[in-house]
Amino acid sequence: MKTAWVFPGQGSQTIGMGSDLLDVEAAKARFAQAEAILGWSVPEICQSAEDKLSKTLYTQPCLYVIEAILADLMRDRGLTPDAVAGHSLGEYGALYAAGVFEFESGLRLVKKRSELMEQASGGLMAALIGFDRTQLEEQIAQTPNVVLANDNSDSQVVISGTPEAVEAIMANVKTKKAVKLNVSGAFHSPQMGDAAAEFNQILETIDFRDAQVPVLSNVDPTPATDAAAIKDRLIRQMTGSVRWREISSAFTEMEVGQAIEVGPGKVLTGLLKRACPGMELVNVGSLAEIPS
């Protein structure tokens, strides 16, 4: 049976995540490497009572580090994926797991990404649940400065853009539920263009290797292993849509029978449960949950 490893993004973090890894030698080494790059301690932020973890600046590096450690520990137990994918920030965990870049290189990218996204302002994002897709697509096409940022499933998406444009869509599209997200900017939209240009200067300096297993990227949900193609997709990720609904369909076409969500929460297995009925779903958010 083919197995995909999937890596969640921002929003899946939980206070206390990774606390069970503090006594694991391999994890301790990773936490030390991370502190040298970040200038702060991932375990301290993850345990912080004042919820520093919910700040983009901290959320993204913490998730990447925890997901990378869990992937390492899974490989240590002889587990390997047949394909990988990650949701937004989770794509960095997926690329690390596929051997595309070193742990430190990925963390340097995530550090810069989190700084740029923390500084982003003036945009709005909103989650829409239960809607007519044709009506939504027509309204987005007619409304400047708003895009489909996360196409998560048939019934759940996130739109992103200027506050006026996002509010216009919320007013004109009938939904079961619409919720504005607590984020600083219009992520995964053209409004991130300046940030993306600055980020890409750093991205160009990082060595990418061919992936050991196929990677399904957010902006292009077709399997790829070529280093140059994967890097090109990551360049487009900050301004492009997260096409998770199509990634789910691709898993079905690839005959993936099992998905393991590597990281906290159950967001991606929740989406896959509805999109891929019959798929075996496993969550590995802690040391105890790693299959033996």
Active-site choice (188, 189, 241, 248)? 188
DSSP collapsed to 3 states, the chain:
CEEEEEECCCCCCCCCCCHHHCCCHHHHHHHHHHHHHHCCCHHHHHHCCCCHHHCHHHHHHHHHHHHHHHHHHHHHCCCCCCEEEECCCHHHHHHHHCCCCCHHHHHHHHHHHHHHHHHCCCCEEEEEEEECHHHHHHHHHHCCCEEEEEEEECCEEEEEECHHHHHHHHHHCCEEEEEECCCCCCCCCHHHHHHHHHHHHHHCCCCCCCCCCCEECCCCCCCECCHHHHHHHHHCCCCCCECHHHHHHHHHHCCEEEEEEECCCCHHHHHHHHHCCCCEEEEECCHHHCCC
Q: Is 48 a catalytic residue?
A: no
Q: Is 189 a catalytic residue?
A: no
Catalytic residues: 88, 188
